[in-house]
Amino acid sequence: MNENKLLLVDDEEGIRRVLGITLADSGYEVLPAADGAEALQIFRREAPAIVLTDIKMPGMDGIELLRRIKAEKPETEVIMITGHGDMDLAIRSLEHEATYFITKPIQDEELEAALGRARRRIGERKKERRYRREVEDMLAEMAEKEEAAAGQTDRGLAASERREIGRIGNRINVCLLGLDRIIADGDVADLQRVRGMLEEIAARLKTIGKTTC
pLDDT in tens, 55-102: 989 999 999 999 999 999 999 999 999 876 667 777 778 788 888 888
Q: What is the mean pLDDT of the chain?
A: 79
Under the banding of pLDDT at 50, 70 and 90, the label for residue 39 is very high
**Closest by CA position to 108, among listed 26, 39, 29:** 26
Residue 41 has pLDDT above 90, yes or no: yes
Residue 28 has pLDDT above 60, yes or no: yes
Q: How far apart are CA 87 and CA 166, in angstroms?
A: 55
What pLDDT does residue 163 have?
64
Q: How far apart are CA 53 and CA 62, in angstroms?
A: 6
Under the banding of pLDDT at 50, 70 and 90, the label for residue 44 is very high
The per-residue pLDDT for range 101-153, each reduced to its tens digit, is 888 888 889 899 999 999 988 888 888 777 767 766 766 666 666 566 555 54
Q: How far apart are CA 109 and CA 178, in angstroms?
A: 35
Domain boundaries, the chain: 2-122, 125-212
Higher confidence at residue 22 or residue 198?
22
Under the banding of pLDDT at 50, 70 and 90, the label for residue 178 is low
Residue 53 has pLDDT above 80, yes or no: yes
Category of 84 on φ-ψ map: left (φ > 0), alpha (ψ -120 to 50) or beta: alpha
Q: Rounded to 5 degrees, what angle do the CA atoms 28, 31, 35 make?
A: 140
Is it true that domain 2-122 has CATH number 3.40.50.300?
A: no
The per-residue pLDDT for range 190-203, each reduced to its tens digit, is 566 666 666 677 66
What pLDDT does residue 24 have?
94
